[in-house]
Amino acid sequence: GAGVSQSPSNKVTEKGKDVELRCDPISGHTALYWYRQSLGQGLEFLIYFQGNSAPDKSGLPSDRFSAERTGGSVSTLTIQRTQQEDSAVYLCASSWTGTSSYNEQFFGPGTRLTVL
């Protein structure tokens, strides 16, 4: 079946511009996660959705970052007024249920964001 998809795969933008990153989770997965991975680094947790609600936004680095999820499916991560330090690969993952018990996270291919 279809896995997690993300778009765009690559995004180059100028400092100060807003960007929107999209994630389509696996159908039926209620939990959705956004991570950021800088070159040679581990995954930095950003935000977690259970259905349409975001019980954990603690990883968002600043108020320039926001995310929403509609219909319990597609999620959009928005970065306003991008800065060069926002350059990274943004990974989305989904799993059957949330954090009450760990379910394997299935990752999308990521969006590589470059801020010039």
Partner 1 sequence: RKEVEQDPGPFNVPEGATVAFNCTYSNSASQSFFWYRQDCRKEPKLLMSVYSSGNEDGRFTAQLNRASQYISLLIRDSKLSDSATYLCVVNSYSSASKIIFGSGTRLSIRP
Give min distance, CB of 54 to partner 1, in A: 9
Tell which residue, 34, 38, 24, 102, has the closest CA to residue 70: 24
Helix, strand, coil percentages, rounded to 5, for the chain: 5, 50, 50
Q: Which of residues 66-105 bind partner 1 (CB under 8 A)?
A: 91, 98-102, 104-105
Q: Which stretch binds partner 1 (CB under 8 A): 20-28, 41-49, 64-72, 76-84?
A: 41-49
Pick from 24, 29, 33, 88 the residue near partner 1 by CB under 8 A.
33
Pair 16, 82: CB distance under 8 Å: yes
* Rounded distance between C-alpha atoms, residue 82 and residue 14, angstroms: 8
Contacts with partner 1, residue ranges (CB under 8 A): 31, 33, 35, 40-43, 45, 48, 55-56, 58-59, 91, 98-102, 104-105, 107-110
